[in-house]
Structure 1
Amino acid sequence: MYLNCKTFFSYRYGTFSTEALVKEAVEVGASALTLTNINNTSDLWDFYELCLEANIKPVLGAEIRNGDHFLYILLAKSTTGLLHINQFLTKHLQSKEPFPERPDLNADVWVIYPLGQLPPAQLKEQELIGIQPGEITKLYAIDVAHYPTKFVVRQPVTFKTKVHYNLHRLLRAIDHNILLSKQTAEQIAAPTEVFLSPTKILDAFRQHPQMITNTLRIIDTCNYEVDLASDKTKKVFSATLKDDRILLEKLALDGLRYRYGTGNREAEERVRKELQIIDKLGFNSYFLITWDVIRYAQSRGFYHVGRGSGANSIVAYCLQITDVNPIELDLYFERFLNPYRTSPPDFDIDFSWQDRDEVIDYIFKRYGEQHVALLGMYSTFQYNAILRELAKVFGLPKHEVDAIADNPDATLQDDKIQKLILFYGSLLQNFPNYTSIHPGGMLISEEPIYQYTALEMPPKGFATTQIDMFVAEKVGLYKLDILSQRGLGHIKDCIQLVRENKSISIDIHDVEKFKRDPQVADQIRRADTIGCFYIESPAMRQLLLKLRCDDYITLVAASSIIRPGVAQSGMMREYIYRFHNPDKFEYLHPKMKELLEETYGVMVFQEDVIKVAHHFAGLDMGEADVLRRAMSGKYRGRKEFDRIKEQFFTNCKELGHPDEIAKEVWRQIESFGGYSFSKAHSASFAVESYQSLFLKTYYPMEFMVAVINNFGGFYSTELYFHELRRAGAKIHAPCVNNSTELTDIHGREVYIGFIHIKSLQKETVGRLLQERSRHGSFLNLQDFIHRTGIGTEQLNILIRVGALRFTGKNKKELLWEANFLSKRVKEKDVVGTALFQDKPVEFKLPVLYHTPLEDALDEKELLGFYLCDPFSLVDADPKAFVPARQFKNHAGQSIEVLVYYITQKPVRTSKGQLMYFGTFIDSNGDWVDSVHFPDSAVKYRLTGQGFYHIKGKVVEEFGVYSIEVKWMQKIGIKQPAPL
C-alpha cells in the first residue's frame, strides 16, 4: 500500500531517517514497504537490509521530479529493473537534462503516474496511475471499471507528525532560499503524507477493492535476489581466475628477487603463504588491479606512496605497491589477512595532487565507465550552518544570527523565534544535505555499477556514486583509495629543480640509504623538519624533540602516537617516559609485556589492539577485526561493537584478569576510536618523511622552493619563504624580467612567482610571459606597457610589488609615469613589439621619496608577507626580551618574550573549556611554543598574524621548553618618520 515513501535522502524534503521509516512501518503493521526517494537511490541497500530484518518485504524504486514538479514513481520488478532505474537517473543527473514527462523504460520497471497526467487509455502495460485517498472523489469523471488493472493506491509518506511536517516546510524553504512566509503550496508536500494504517487505507478504498488488489499484485511482482554478503568488486583481472592466480604468483616471485635477492627463505615462505591466502579469499584480482595502477603511474614518472593495511603484505612490497618491508618491521600478518576477513585489505595509494586525476582517468578508461565510479559521501547539516539557514528562513537579521551562533544561550528580542530555531535545529542535526565526493575512494565492479547505485557528475568531471562507503561495503563493493597529497609534489618538483639547478640526479627510492645517513638522523633529532611530509606540525616537532628521535623505527612509532587517541588518553606521555626509562616502569600484565614489549606496553598501532583483543581478552580474529574497523572510523554497526565490548569483559573474567586491569585495557582500546593507524600505515608515512628529510638536508633551497610551488604544508607560505631565507637563498620580489608564474631558483637566487601576487590576473601573467618569451626582456616602463597592453590597475599592482624595479626608478616615480604612459598607449592603441623602438619619454619630476617601510607594507598587502626580516619593523626592541635559545636557563621562571605569530591550535579541556597552543618565531628565527590555559585564553586572545609581547613561565617536558602564558599584548609596527 505504501508505494511512495521517502527518507531524508530526498535531500531537503524527507524527514525520516531510513531506520525510522522502517520502524514506523513496523508499528503501523505494514507487510511491505517501498522506498522512492526523489531522483535518488542513496540509502536503498540500508533500507533493503532493515526491511528484511523487520520481516517486511522491501520494494525498491525512485520518485522522479523536475524541481517541484512531480512526474512519476519508478518501481523495480527485479534487480534488472533496478539497474534500468539507476541508468535512467544517471543519464539525466549527469547531463543535467530535465526528466521526460514519460520515460522510455522496459517491462522490468513499473511506472506510476499521478492522477490526471495521462489518460488510462494511453497507458502501456507497465504504466499505472496512483490514487491518493484524498483523490477518490475525482474518480467519478473516469470510467475506472473500464481499466480495472490500471489504478493503484498511492499513499505518500514524507513525515511522521505535525512537528516533522513543520521540519519539512523548513527544509523546503532552505532549498528554495526563501522566507517561510513566502512558501507556496506547490513547493511542499501535503499535510496528509503520513503513515495511514492499513485499516484506514482499506476503508478509504472500500468502493474500489480492485485498486487494493492491483496494489498488492504490483508489490508481489517486485522481487530481488541480492546476496549482500558476496564480493561484487571486479573478480577477474586477466582472462580467468586461474590466470590471475598464476600471474600474481609470477609477479610476486619476480618482485621477491628484486626486493630480497636470492636465497631469503623467510621472505619466500611468507610470500607463498600470503599467495595461498590471497587466492583462497579471492583477492587475486584486487592485488593485480592495484599493481596495474602503480605500473601505469610509474610509466608516466609519477611518484606514489602505498599505505593502509595492505602495506602489511609482503606481496604488496614485492609488487612495489608499497615501500614498507614487512619483515624488517615485523608487521603483524593477521592485521593484513585473517580467516575471518571478508573484505580485501585496504590499499591507500597517494599520488601528487598534480598527477592524481590522470591516474583516476586511466582507471576509468582501463576498466570501463560501466564498471568504475568515484565513491560518494554525504555532507550533513551541522550546528552553525543549521542556525544560519533557519535564521534566514525566519527572516532574522545577520547580527542576531551571529549572536546565537556564537552563544546558544544568548537571548534575542524575539525569544519565540530563537526557541523555534534551536528546537528544529536539533532535529535537523546530521540530516544529509547533499552528495559530495569521498576523498579518494573508487569502486570497480564486476557487474555494471548501475546494479547498485545511480551516478552523478560533480564539477570534477568523474562519475560519482550516490551511495557512500558504508553502503558500498554493505553491498560487497570494496573501494580502492586513490588519494592526493602535496608532499609527493614537493618531492617530485625538488628532484627536478636539483637536476636543473645542480645537474644532480637523485634516486629517491633509495630509502635504506637515507635511513643510515647521519646528517638526516641529526635533522630529525633537531626536528628541523619544516616542509617535510607529516612531521612538520608543531605537535610533531615537539614529539620528535621529546623522543630525541633519530631512526626509522622510532619515527614509525611517532607517526602513530601523535594521533589524538593515543595522545589524549595520556598514553603518548607514558610512551615517551618509558622510551627514555625502559627499566623504570611495570607492565600492566605479563601478557602485555609479551605482546607489547616493542612499544613498552603501550598500544600504539591498530595491530597492538588486535593482538591484545585476541591474545589477552580471547576475542576471535573476526571480533578483533570489528574493533579494528571501529578504531579506523570505518564501522557503523554500534550494536555489534557493544556486543564485542560485553564479550571482552566476559572473556577477561573467565581468563582470570582482575576487573581493574580489564577496565584499563579497554579504556586504552576505546581511546583509539576513529584515530588509529596500522603500523604499516605509519611506516609508509615514515618512508615519505625520510625522502623529504633527505632532500631538505642536502638540497634545502630547492626543497623549500618545491614546497612553496606546491602550495601545501601545515604552515603559511610566509613561513616557507622564511625557511628558504634561513637555508641561504637570496629572495627577490617578483620581477617582470626574471619571474615566472611559480617561484624559481637559479643557484642561490630565488625570484618569487607571479602567482603569489594578490589580484594579479592570470591573463595578465600569461600575456607578460608570452611576450617576454617571444621578444626578450623588457627594456623600460614604456616598452613594457607598449608590448603587453596592460591596464592601469594591473600595472599599478606590478609596480607596487616591485616587479619593475629593473628600471632603476622608485615606485612613486613609476606610478606617476605609468599613469601618463597608459593613457598614451590607450590613445595610440599600440600593443606588441614595434619595428623601431621609440625613445623612452623622459619625465622631469620633483624628488619623490620612498621608504623601506612603505615597501614592506606593499609586500604585506600584495603578497601576504614581508620580504624583509619582520623584526626590523616591530615597534619594540627585540634585544630587550629573552630569546628561545635561552629558555633552558630560565626553566620555572617568569620571562618576557617578543614573538611573531605562526599558527595556533584550539582544543577543549575535559571540562569543555577552550584553550590554545600557540606557535611563534623569535627575532633569531627560533621556535617559541606557548600554552594558553582557559583563564589566559579568555583574557588574552590570539588574534592572528602579527607581533606579540608575552609574559609567562618557562615550562619543560622531556627536554623541550615552552612558555605558559600569563599575559599577552599585540605589538604594532613602527610608524613612518614624518617628512
Structure 2
Amino acid sequence: MRAVPQYAELRCLTNFSFLRGASQPEELVERAKQLGYAALAVADECSMAGIVRAHGAAKRVGLRLLVGSQFELDWGEASGDDAAPFTLTVLACNLIGYGNLCQFITKLRRASPKGSYQLAATELSGAELADCVVLASPRRMSEPAQLQALARWLLTHFIGRCWFGVELLRLLSDEMWLHRLREVSQENAIPLVACGDVHFHVRSRKPLQDVLTAIRLGNPLTDCGLELQPNAERHLRTRLRLAHTYPEDLLAETLAVAARCSFSLDELRYQYPDEVVPLGETPVSYLRRLTYEGAGRRWPAGIAARVQAQIEHELALIAELRYEHYFLTVADIVRFARSRHILCQGRGSAANSVVCYCLGVTEVDPARMSVLFERFISKERNEPPDIDIDFEHERREEVLQYLYARYGRERAALTAVVICYRPRSAIRDVGKALGFAAQTVDTLAKEHQWWDGQGLQPERLAEVGLSADELRVRQLIELTRQLLGFPRHLSQHVGGFVLTKGPLCRMVPIENAAMADRTVIQWDKDDLDALGLLKVDCLALGMLTAIAKALDFIGQRKGYRFEMQDIPAEDAETYEMVCKADTVGVFQIESRAQMSMLPRLQPRCFYDLVIEVAIIRPGPIQGGMVHPYLNRRQGKEPVSYPSEALKEALGRTLGVPVFQEQVMQIAMIAAGFTPGEADGLRRAMAAWKRKGGLDKYQHKLVNGMTARGYSLEFAESIYQQVHGFSEYGFPESHAASFALLVYASCWMKRHHPAEFLAAMLNSQPLGFYSPSQLVQDARRHGVEVRPVDVMDSCIDCTLEDLPHQPAVRLGLRLVAGLRQEAMARIVAAREVRVFDSAEDLARSAQLEQHEMKLLAAADALRRLSGHRRQQVWDAAALRAQPQLLREASFDEALLELPAAPEGEEILFDYAA
C-alpha cells in the first residue's frame, strides 16, 4: 500500500479574492491543519487583504503559512499563436521578497481603477520580484509552442526559482496534460510541482463558488456555462487522494518549494515617521519639551502636583513603549489644522491622557475628570494607542492631503474597511444568481427585517409567493446563509491613516480608492491591531463645521476673532435653556430621547452634560442604570456604595456605573483584575456583537467579587451591566469631549441664535433636523429669517444687520436640486448688473429652464415676477435660444396669473 505523502499546498485562494474564493482564510488554514499538510500558501489574486487573518489562524493551530499572491497574465501586444494567458503564483522567500511583492502589487493597483489590475508578461521583470519563487500555471491544453514560449520567458526572468504548476483536477485531459508539461519541463530544466488551485476548503462549498462566479459575471447560473468549474476538485484534498492523483515527484517537490519560503508576518517591524523631530532633539526630549510647554499654557498659574505626577507617569510609559513618534505626529497634524484655522478636537480614549491635553490634541482637562490612563495605553496590553481626532467635515480633506504631501503616497494611506455581505445584499445576489425574478428578489430583500435574524424566514418567503419546500428556494436559503459575512470588496476607512518611516507599500499593498486623490492599504483596522501597527483617525464631524462657521459669524459681529475658548464657562442661561429641553439643532442632546431626559436630569454644570451624553445609550439603558441614577439624583433613594473601595470609582455618578472606565475600575478594585485584564474586558464589550468572547469573563468577574466580600447578587448585577455596556456604552473621556461641543452649541443657540442658525444651514447635511425645522425653531426664538431671493441671496446663508440681532438671509444652497455652478453664475451676474426680470436673470446667468423652475418653486424670483404662481409661469415660458440670439430680447404681452391659494403655497414650500 502506498504511503501517505507529505504535502504543501502552494496555490490557494481565499474569499478575499472577491467573488472567486468560497472559504474564509481561517477555514482554509484549519482544514489544512486537519489534513496534516506541511504548509499552506495563501495567494489571493493581486492582494494581501486576507493574509493577516490567515497568519493569525496559522499561529493558533500551528500550521506553517506561506505568503504570496497570484496574477493573471497575458502577453500584451506580443500576443500571437505562440502566446497563451497563464497564472503566475508568487511566493515570498524572505522579508525582502515580501516587500518586493507588496510593492509590485501596489504598482499594478495604483496604475488601474479601483478593484482591477492589468499585467502583461512583456512588462514584468524578474528583478521586481527578487527573493521570491514563482509557479507558472498555463491554461489547460496550451499548445507545445505556447508552453515553450512560456518556458523561455521563465528562464529569462526567474531562472533557478521557477516551476510549472500542475493542477490535476480529475478531468479527462489530465494524463495528456501532464505528459505535455513533462516534455517541456525536461527540455527546459524547469521542474514540475503539484498545485491544487484551491478555491474552497471542503467540496461542499462548490455550489457557493458557482454562485460567486455568477455574481461576478452578472449572469444567472444557467447562463454561466464553461465559466463554472466542471467539478469540486478545487478543494483541500486529503493526502491519500493526492497520492492517487499526482506522481510522487510532483508531491515531493511541493516540500522543496515550501523550504525556499521562510517569511512570516511576524518579521514585520513598524517604524513611525521621524520628520517631526527637529535636529538636536531626541523623540523623548522633544515630546517632553512640547508637553511641558503645553502644560504651561493650560495651567498658567502652575501645574498641580497630581497633574505633574500623571504627566511623568504617562511620559515614562510612552518612552518605555516607544510611542513618542506617534504622539509627536498626531500633535503635528493638529498643529497644521490649527495653523489653517480648521477646528479640531481629539476624542475617545485619548481624552484620558494628560499628555494629549498638553499637546493640544484633546480639549478636556483630565484634572477635572476621573481619568483612567490604562483605557488609553497599557504596558501589560502593549498594543498601539488609538487617537481619534475630529475635524470640520468640509475641511478634513485639507488635512488628509497634507499627510499625503508631507509623507508621500508610498508612506501614507488610509486604512481599508472590508465590506461584507449582510442579509439583504446576500438575498439579492444569491437570488439573482439562482434565476429568481428581479422583482421577487428585490421585494424579498426589502421585506427582510433585523428581527428576522440572519436567515430567510418562511413568512417572508410566503409574502412573495415562495415555498421552502421547493428545491430552488431551499438552495436560496442555504446559499444565502453561507454567503453572510463574506467579504464583498474593500472600501476606505472613514479616516484611519497609516504613516510609516520607510515605504508603506513594502509592508502592505496600496491601491486607489473610489474617491479621487485617495489611496488605501489592503488591511483593515483589525489587521493593523493584530500586527501592532499604529494608525491615527482623522475623522469628520459636521457639528465642528457648524461651530467654526458660527464662531466666524460671531467674530464678524464683534470685530475680532472669536474662538472656542472665548465662550464663557458654566453659563446659567445656557443651562436653563437645556433644562427646558430647548435643544433643537444642538449637538448630541437634540433627539427625542435626550429631550425627554433633560427636564428630569436638570443639567446645571459641565459634568452633568457629560453624564447626559453618556446615559442615553443602549449600554446604560439595557444595563438598568438610568432609573437608579435619576432616583438618586432627585433624592428619591439614598446614595449608597457597595464598599468604600468603590466609592472613589462611583462617587461622581452617585454609586451607579455610567461609563466604561467605571466598569474597568470595578473589575480592578472589586474583582482583582489587572489593568490589562480590565482592558481586555472593555474590548470584549466593544466586540461582543461581532466576535462574542464576553462570557469568558463572567466566572473571573463574579468569583473575584464574591471572594473579596461582595454579595453574589451584586456581582451578578455588575455582570449584567457589563452585558448592557456591550450594546454600546460611552467612555467618560469620550462623553466629556462631546459634552464640550454640546455646551458650545447650546451657548450659541442661547446667545447668538441667528449666527447659529446660519452656520447650521451652511453646514448641511447635518444633525437630526431638516433645514425647515431649524428655521421654524429659530423663528420661535425671535430670529428673523428672510427667504431665498436671487436679488440678495449668496450661495451660503448670510446675516443682514438689524438693530438688536441680525436677520438670516437664506442662501441659494437651500434651493433643492440647484447645482453649485448655477448658484455661482447667479451671484457673479448680479455683481455686474441688477436683474430687471426673470428673463434677464436667465439670460445674464445663463440659466436653463429647469434651473429657473427650481428657483421659482423655491419662491426665489418674487422680486422679479411677483407671487409664486407667476414665477412658475415665467420660468416655464423661457426657452433655450441659439447662441446668436441669446442676448436678444423679445417683446410680447405678459400673462398675469392670480396668486395661488395658501394650500398650494404650502405644497410648493415642501417641494422646494
Q: Answer yes or no: is 1:114 the counterpart of 2:150.
A: no
Q: Distance in 2 between matches of 1:259 and 1:144?
A: 74
SS of match in other structure, 2:9: coil
In the alignment, is the contact (CA less than 8 A) between 2:15 and 2:22 conserved in 1? Answer: yes
Alignment match of 1:534 (pick from 585, 588, 592): 588
Cα gap change, 1:730 to 1:239, in 2 (>3 Å): closer
Amino acid at match of 1:781: A
Cα gap change, 1:203 to 1:844, in 2 (>3 Å): closer
Q: Distance in 2 between matches of 1:315 and 1:827?
A: 67
Aligned to 1:713: 767
In the alignment, is the contact (CA less than 8 A) between 2:619 and 2:726 conserved in 1? Answer: yes
Q: Distance in 2 between matches of 1:846 and 1:263?
A: 75
Task: Give the CA deviation at 1:699.
Answer: 0.8
Alignment match of 2:64 (pick from 50, 53, 57): 57
Cα gap change, 1:292 to 1:580, in 2 (>3 Å): same
Q: Answer yes or no: is 1:123 the counterpart of 2:123.
A: no
SS of match in other structure, 1:364: helix
Q: Distance in 1 between matches of 2:537 and 2:230?
A: 40
Deviation string for 1:373-406 (max 9, x for gaps)?
1111111111112112222222323443355332
Aligned to 1:444: 499
Aligned to 2:413: 373
Question: Aligned runs of 1:31-180 on 2, under 5 Å?
Answer: 31-65=38-72, 71-96=87-112, 97-101=117-121, 103-104=124-125, 105-115=128-138, 116=142, 118-119=147-148, 120-124=151-155, 125=159, 126-134=161-169, 135-141=174-180, 142-180=183-221
Q: Distance in 2 between matches of 1:203 and 1:127?
A: 25
Aligned to 1:933: none
Q: Distance in 2 between matches of 1:69 and 1:503?
A: 71
Q: Distance in 1 between matches of 2:52 and 2:654?
A: 45
Question: Aligned runs of 1:603-752 on 2, under 5 Å?
Answer: 603-633=657-687, 642-673=695-726, 675-711=728-764, 712-747=766-801, 748-752=806-810
Deviation string for 1:802-843 (max 9, x for gaps)?
2221135334445545555x34x72684446x8xxx6x8462
Task: Give the CA deviation at 1:310.
Answer: 1.7
In the alignment, is the contact (CA less than 8 A) between 1:3 and 1:34 conserved in 2? Answer: yes
Cα gap change, 1:752 to 1:190, in 2 (>3 Å): farther
Deviation string for 1:162-186 (max 9, x for gaps)?
5411111111212222111111323
Task: Give the CA deviation at 1:585.
Answer: 5.1
In the alignment, is the contact (CA less than 8 A) between 1:234 and 1:285 conserved in 2? Answer: yes
In the alignment, is the contact (CA less than 8 A) between 2:670 and 2:704 conserved in 1? Answer: no
Aligned to 1:949: none
In the alignment, is the contact (CA less than 8 A) between 1:71 and 1:101 conserved in 2? Answer: no
In the alignment, is the contact (CA less than 8 A) between 1:149 and 1:214 conserved in 2? Answer: no
Amino acid at match of 2:154: L
Amino acid at match of 1:772: R
Q: Which runs of 5+ in 1 are unaligned?
A: 864-979
Q: Answer yes or no: is 1:200 the counterpart of 2:241.
A: yes
Cα gap change, 1:223 to 1:303, in 2 (>3 Å): same
Aligned to 2:353: 313
Amino acid at match of 1:6: L
Name whichever of 586-595 and 96-105 sits farther off: 586-595
Aligned to 1:328: 368
SS of match in other structure, 1:123: helix
Aligned to 2:441: 401
Amino acid at match of 1:290: V
In the alignment, is the contact (CA less than 8 A) between 1:303 and 1:488 conserved in 2? Answer: yes
Question: Aligned runs of 1:246-265 on 2, under 5 Å?
Answer: 246-265=285-304
Deviation string for 1:309-360 (max 9, x for gaps)?
2211111111111111111223233333443131243311000011111111
Question: Aligned runs of 1:470-509 on 2, under 5 Å?
Answer: 470-501=526-557, 503=559, 505-509=561-565
Task: Give the CA deviation at 1:649.
Answer: 3.3
Aligned to 2:828: 770
SS of match in other structure, 1:204: coil
Task: Give the CA deviation at 1:566.
Answer: 0.8
In the alignment, is the contact (CA less than 8 A) between 2:73 and 2:121 conserved in 1? Answer: no
Q: Distance in 2 between matches of 1:749 and 1:3?
A: 72
Q: Distance in 2 between matches of 1:479 and 1:261?
A: 32
Deviation string for 1:882-904 (max 9, x for gaps)?
xxxxxxxxxxxxxxxxxxxxxxx
Aligned to 2:599: 545
Amino acid at match of 2:633: F
SS of match in other structure, 2:40: strand
Q: Answer yes or no: is 1:807 the counterpart of 2:864.
A: yes
Task: Give the CA deviation at 1:631.
Answer: 2.8
Task: Give the CA deviation at 1:70.
Answer: 5.9
Amino acid at match of 2:288: E
Q: Answer yes or no: is 1:215 the counterpart of 2:263.
A: no
Amino acid at match of 1:623: E
Q: Distance in 2 between matches of 1:93 and 1:356?
A: 25
Aligned residues: 849
Q: Distance in 2 between matches of 1:808 and 1:759?
A: 21
Q: Distance in 2 between matches of 1:771 and 1:568?
A: 58
Aligned to 1:786: 843
Task: Give the CA deviation at 1:796.
Answer: 2.7
Task: Give the CA deviation at 1:625.
Answer: 1.2
Cα gap change, 1:56 to 1:335, in 2 (>3 Å): closer
Amino acid at match of 1:106: L
SS of match in other structure, 2:725: coil
Alignment match of 2:331 (pick from 272, 281, 291): 291
Q: Distance in 1 between matches of 2:653 and 2:31?
A: 50
What TM-score comes out, normalization by structure 1 length? 0.82
In the alignment, is the contact (CA less than 8 A) between 2:784 and 2:808 conserved in 1? Answer: yes
Aligned to 2:902: 852
Amino acid at match of 1:164: R
SS of match in other structure, 1:40: coil
Q: Distance in 1 between matches of 2:225 and 2:324?
A: 57
SS of match in other structure, 1:464: strand
Q: Distance in 2 between matches of 1:658 and 1:753?
A: 63
In the alignment, is the contact (CA less than 8 A) between 1:787 and 1:831 conserved in 2? Answer: no
What TM-score comes out, normalization by structure 2 length? 0.88
In the alignment, is the contact (CA less than 8 A) between 2:838 and 2:865 conserved in 1? Answer: no
Cα gap change, 1:23 to 1:389, in 2 (>3 Å): same
In the alignment, is the contact (CA less than 8 A) between 1:230 and 1:476 conserved in 2? Answer: no
Q: Distance in 1 between matches of 2:796 and 2:94?
A: 56
Task: Give the CA deviation at 1:529.
Answer: 2.0
Q: Distance in 2 between matches of 1:817 and 1:539?
A: 47
Task: Give the CA deviation at 1:463.
Answer: 1.4
Alignment match of 2:387 (pick from 347, 350, 359): 347
SS of match in other structure, 2:367: coil
In the alignment, is the contact (CA less than 8 A) between 1:229 and 1:474 conserved in 2? Answer: no
Cα gap change, 1:656 to 1:241, in 2 (>3 Å): farther
Alignment match of 1:456 (pick from 511, 516, 531): 511
Q: Which runs of 5+ in 2 are unaligned?
A: 1-7, 75-83, 449-456
Q: Distance in 1 between matches of 2:86 and 2:640?
A: 69
Amino acid at match of 1:34: A
Cα gap change, 1:507 to 1:582, in 2 (>3 Å): farther
Q: Distance in 1 between matches of 2:392 and 2:683?
A: 27
Cα gap change, 1:734 to 1:830, in 2 (>3 Å): farther
Aligned to 1:900: none
SS of match in other structure, 2:207: helix
SS of match in other structure, 2:381: coil
